[in-house]
Structure 1
Amino acid sequence: MNKAELVVDKAFVIGSVDSRLYGSFIEHVGRAVYGGIYEPGHPEADEQGFRKDVMAMVRELGVPIVRYPGGNFVSGYEWEDGVGPVDGRKRRLDLAWAALETNEVGTNEFAEWARKVGAEVMMAVNLGTRGPADARNLIEYCNHPGGTYWSDLRRSHGYEAPHKFKTWCLGNEMDGPWQIGHKTADEYGRTALETAKLMKWVDPSIELVVCGSSMRDMPTFGSWEATVLDHTYDHVDYLSLHTYYGNRKDDTASFVAKSLEMDDYIHSVIAVCDFVKAKKRSKKQMMLSFDEWNVWYHSAAADRQLERWTIAPPQIEDIYTLEDAIVVGCMIITLLKHADRVRVACIAQLVNVIGPIMTANNGIAWRQTIFYPYLHASLYGRGVSLKPIIRSPKYDCKEFTDVPCLESAVVYDEASELLTIFAVNRDLAADLVVESDLRHFAGYRIVEHLVLENPDPKAKNTATQPLNVTPHAGGDSELRDGCLRARLPKLSWNVIRLTKI
């Protein structure tokens, strides 16, 4: 049996974990909104048409913030279409996803839904077909108390109090040729700068996210970030990162190592941010918003068969496996490793569209395999992220060398004296025994050892078998004389929770 070592010290602090690290995303795409969070006539629908069974699962996850309304969708979105009397709203062709948008759900309805699930809204503005003036109008509509045209229009729509959205995205993936209103780095940087100025003049309390590259593989990666930040550094608070991973070649050993690439991606973006900081002789440190991340590849073939210009087509509906959940767990661990710089992150998306929650129209809602690592991190990953010292056996695969079998992050909540160890065993064939030096946590005991595992890496949850892959609390671990010894099953996600006696 393979063995690994883990040393945990209270003094090895990476940074405080911002609760928004466990954010998510709802875009007007596929069945994320219509048939996802919103389905009037469903037995579980509330008086506004929002599904209560879905809301219960979102509350279970403790989602702190949800990005809205896109995504690619926002680059062609006219927000005025989604406010005011619903029966007077326009139907529009959504060019981003070749679908028909009814605009039944818009800014105010989404704000209501977010309040019901206890989440903040991370609002995005259209910098594709629109610009600074429209963004200024939108924030005045949303955040200004009253006494002006746009704020009074909101009040006339039945929302007397402002929404007070704090976090705003300045467009989406503007480096991508697929994006409506695609721009060069200089074009986008100038537009984002002027938009940021106007928006903060309306509401100085907001925080702004400027678009980084839409993925690391973009030919302009690095130079895009440097140019955009050269324009906007003094006026924005976060730079965005996006990434998705898949197992298209059915190479699981490489697939579960993809978070190593994510880790290097974050390091590279931090380097560019700090270069611009040095160039500008600034005292400000740019933080990161990893506002799109997930596994995405299962649905590609099905999406090519969809009919154009329909309402809420079943787009991007990946049904996730155990190995997908392992990758998601490793990605969460990677985010925790960079808690000092990554302050916001959004698993994309939340419901149906590459989501941890799935629904059947007029039917049940269920938890996908990826629901569980996300749930555990959101519930137990609050406090400060500690840097564990890891000694692990390694393996080579087609895409990577020296892949550690053990991937781990540690979070310590001093106020409640809780210590949580998140650990993945990447080994596809063998269990891994981990010995953890916890001498700096004298007097602690194990609360529980949660394990997500299955003999079949391709095992999944479906509408007919919604509980096929679920965590259990029967993990094999013991704590003696400051040494934690835990057995991690092959290809498993583990959460070991400890508290002071």
Structure 2
Amino acid sequence: MLRAHIVLDRQAVIAPVRRRTFGSFVEHLGRCVYTGIYEPEHPSANEDGFRMDVVELVRELGSTTIRYPGGNFVSGFRWEDSVGPREQRPVRRDLAWHSLESNQVGLDEFAKWLALTGSELMLAVNVATRGILPALDLLEYANHPSGTALSDLRIANGTPAPHNVRMWCLGNEMDGPWQTGFMTADDYGKVAARTAAAMKMADKDLELVVCGSSGSGMPTFGDWERTVLEHAYDHVDYVSCHAYYQEHDGDLASFLASAVDMDYFIDTVVATADHVGHKKRSKKKIDISFDEWNVWYLKEHQESGEVNEEWRHAPRQLEDVYSVADAVVVGNLLMTLLKRSDRVTSASLAQLVNVIAPIMTEPGGPAWRQTTFFPFSITSRLAAGEVIRPTIEAPASSTDRHGEASVVDAVATFDEDRSAVFLVNRDLTQEAQVTIDVRGFGASRVMEAVTLADSDVYAKNTLADQRRVIPRANPSAALSDGVLTIILPPVSWTAVALG
């Protein structure tokens, strides 16, 4: 059995727990919207056509902020198509995912869905194929109370109160050649700066997100952020990060260490943003919006032929079915985002329903939780107060993709009512006995200890077996004289709540 020791010092505060860390993402892609959140014929649908079984799962998941409507989709999107009488809305081709968009769900409908889930809207504008004026028009439609052409149009469309959207994304993945209207860093930085400046003329308190790199493997990574921010630094508040991970060629050890790469990604972007800030002698710090992150089997998607020459409405695309190992990685990535809460103040698990998602649905049938649902929902529920940086003494292992990685990783949160510790054991075969010094937390009892693990690390929840994998109580958790002892199974994610 492996052994690890962790010390949690109440004074080692990283930052407050940011509720926006627990954001998600709904894109008009595949079945995320249609037969995902919206299916008027479904037995659970409300009067607006939204599946209430999905709404209940989103509430349980604990999503706080929802990025919308894309994603690659936004770079060809005309927002005007998606408002007003449904029978008058045009059907358009979506070039990003080679499908048809009916526009039956748009901003006003989505805002109603958000109210059901208790989530905040994070809205993306199309700077790729449109420009400044359409972005300003959307801002007026969404946020202005009344008395202007577009705010009065929103009211006439049945939405009297403004949506009051605070966070806005200036396009999506503009460094990627797959993106409709992609640009060089210099061209995008100029467009983003002008768009941001104009939007803040309308509302100086908007929070604007400029596109960073689409991944740390992009050939322009780092230099892209520097160039874009040299143009836009004074006008924006966030730079985005996007990262997806998957197991390659049976290398499970590297896959389980994916959080090492995420940490490197964050380090690089923070250093680059601060470099630009220092050059400008600015007192402002640019935060990170990690507004796309997940496990995604992209290679398999690209080889599947699911995107083909047919123009279909809401085809099945990117419907990854996640394993225990995938869930352990997702839990560890979320732990990393918490550890970087000093600069990562917003994040979005991509996506929410059906498309590389924690929630799956069957048209006319059930909705169920994927394995990745559980670490997200439990962390969102338990994490509160302040994030505490742990001191970890544990064996390390060497991985082919990410170098040295601690076998045990951890992060903790603390507030006066409840503290929580989140842990992973990345070892493929061995249990880890972990002792955690929590004397500074003043805890007297273990309120909850749950572990996600399975003898088959590739076990999954499916339509036929929706509860094959669920978190289970960890009876080894014991607290004595301020020391928590717990045994972590191999390839596992664990949460412990203390009171």
TM-score (norm. length: structure 2):
0.98
Gaps of 5+ in 1: none
Q: Distance in 2 between matches of 1:475 and 1:425?
A: 17
For residues 435-479 of structure 1, what are the alpha-carbon distances to aligned partners after superposition, in whole Å with 9 as ceiling and x for unaligned?
A: 111221235211111111110010000011000000012341111
Structure-1 residue corresponding to 2:327: 325
Deviation at 1:266, TM superposition (A): 0.4
Percent same amino acid among aligned pairs? Answer: 50
Is 1:295 the counterpart of 2:295? The answer is yes
Structure-2 residue corresponding to 1:229: 229
Structure-1 residue corresponding to 2:371: 369
C-alpha distance 175-413 of structure 1, shift in aligned 2 (>3 A): same
| Aligned-partner SS, 1:123 | strand
Structure-2 residue corresponding to 1:213: 213
C-alpha distance 306-442 of structure 1, shift in aligned 2 (>3 A): closer
Q: Distance in 1 between matches of 2:439 and 2:40?
A: 55
Deviation at 1:369, TM superposition (A): 0.2
Structure 1 segments of 4+ aligned residues over 3 angstroms from their partners: none
Whether contact under 8 Å (1:144, 1:203) holds in the other structure is no
| Aligned-partner SS, 2:490 | coil
| Aligned-partner SS, 2:285 | coil
Whether contact under 8 Å (1:136, 1:198) holds in the other structure is yes
C-alpha distance 305-25 of structure 1, shift in aligned 2 (>3 A): closer
| Aligned-partner SS, 1:433 | strand
Whether contact under 8 Å (1:27, 1:73) holds in the other structure is yes
For residues 129-154 of structure 1, what are the alpha-carbon distances to aligned partners after superposition, in whole Å with 9 as ceiling and x for unaligned?
A: 10111100000000000111111111
Is 1:429 the counterpart of 2:440? The answer is no
Is 1:257 the counterpart of 2:251? The answer is no
Whether contact under 8 Å (1:189, 1:231) holds in the other structure is yes
Over the aligned positions, Cα root-mean-square deviation in angstroms equals 1.1
Whether contact under 8 Å (1:169, 1:208) holds in the other structure is yes
Structure-2 residue corresponding to 1:392: 394
Deviation at 1:261, TM superposition (A): 0.7
Structure-1 residue corresponding to 2:407: 405
Gaps of 5+ in 2: none
Deviation at 1:18, TM superposition (A): 1.1
Q: Distance in 2 between matches of 1:177 and 1:60?
A: 37
Whether contact under 8 Å (2:122, 2:169) holds in the other structure is yes
Whether contact under 8 Å (2:98, 2:307) holds in the other structure is no
Structure-2 residue corresponding to 1:378: 380
C-alpha distance 401-129 of structure 1, shift in aligned 2 (>3 A): closer
Whichever residue aligns with residue 392 of structure 2, its letter is I
Deviation at 1:385, TM superposition (A): 0.6
For residues 44-75 of structure 1, what are the alpha-carbon distances to aligned partners after superposition, in whole Å with 9 as ceiling and x for unaligned?
A: 11111100000000011121110000000000
Structure-2 residue corresponding to 1:48: 48
Q: Distance in 1 between matches of 2:443 and 2:229?
A: 48
| Aligned-partner SS, 1:274 | helix
Is 1:81 the counterpart of 2:81? The answer is yes
Structure-2 residue corresponding to 1:27: 27
Deviation at 1:495, TM superposition (A): 0.4
Deviation at 1:231, TM superposition (A): 0.8
Structure-1 residue corresponding to 2:488: 488
For residues 257-302 of structure 1, what are the alpha-carbon distances to aligned partners after superposition, in whole Å with 9 as ceiling and x for unaligned?
A: 1110111110011000110110000111110000000000075157
Q: Distance in 2 between matches of 1:88 and 1:303?
A: 35
| Aligned-partner SS, 1:476 | coil
For residues 293-343 of structure 1, what are the alpha-carbon distances to aligned partners after superposition, in whole Å with 9 as ceiling and x for unaligned?
A: 000007515741444210000000000000000110110111011000000
Structure-2 residue corresponding to 1:344: 346
Q: Distance in 1 between matches of 2:30 and 2:384?
A: 32
Q: Distance in 2 between matches of 1:167 and 1:305?
A: 33
Is 1:354 the counterpart of 2:356? The answer is yes
Alignment of 1:101-116 (within 5 A): 101-116=101-116
Deviation at 1:202, TM superposition (A): 1.5
Whether contact under 8 Å (1:248, 1:297) holds in the other structure is no
Structure-1 residue corresponding to 2:144: 144
Q: Distance in 2 between matches of 1:362 and 1:301?
A: 28
For residues 379-415 of structure 1, what are the alpha-carbon distances to aligned partners after superposition, in whole Å with 9 as ceiling and x for unaligned?
A: 111221100000001112332433211011101123x
Whether contact under 8 Å (2:306, 2:316) holds in the other structure is no
Q: Distance in 2 between matches of 1:246 and 1:53?
A: 29
For residues 327-370 of structure 1, what are the alpha-carbon distances to aligned partners after superposition, in whole Å with 9 as ceiling and x for unaligned?
A: 10110111011000000000000000000000011110000000
Q: Distance in 2 between matches of 1:45 and 1:424?
A: 38
Greater mean alpha carbon deviation, residues 465-474 or residues 397-406 = 397-406
Whether contact under 8 Å (1:23, 1:66) holds in the other structure is yes
For residues 214-263 of structure 1, what are the alpha-carbon distances to aligned partners after superposition, in whole Å with 9 as ceiling and x for unaligned?
A: 11111111111011111111111100000000113121111101110111
Whichever residue aligns with residue 323 of structure 2, its letter is T
| Aligned-partner SS, 2:260 | helix
For residues 104-145 of structure 1, what are the alpha-carbon distances to aligned partners after superposition, in whole Å with 9 as ceiling and x for unaligned?
A: 001110111001110011000001110111100000000000
| Aligned-partner SS, 2:352 | coil
Structure-1 residue corresponding to 2:203: 203
Deviation at 1:201, TM superposition (A): 1.5
Whether contact under 8 Å (1:431, 1:488) holds in the other structure is yes
Whether contact under 8 Å (1:143, 1:203) holds in the other structure is no
Structure-2 residue corresponding to 1:335: 337
Whether contact under 8 Å (1:303, 1:316) holds in the other structure is no
Whichever residue aligns with residue 300 of structure 1, its letter is H
Q: Between Structure 1 and Structure 2, how many residues are aligned?
A: 497
Whether contact under 8 Å (1:322, 1:453) holds in the other structure is yes
Whichever residue aligns with residue 391 of structure 1, its letter is E
Q: Distance in 1 between matches of 2:491 and 2:307?
A: 34
Deviation at 1:198, TM superposition (A): 1.5
Alignment of 1:233-252 (within 5 A): 233-252=233-252
Q: Distance in 2 between matches of 1:155 and 1:224?
A: 41
| Aligned-partner SS, 1:200 | helix
Q: Distance in 1 between matches of 2:443 and 2:26?
A: 43
Deviation at 1:489, TM superposition (A): 1.1
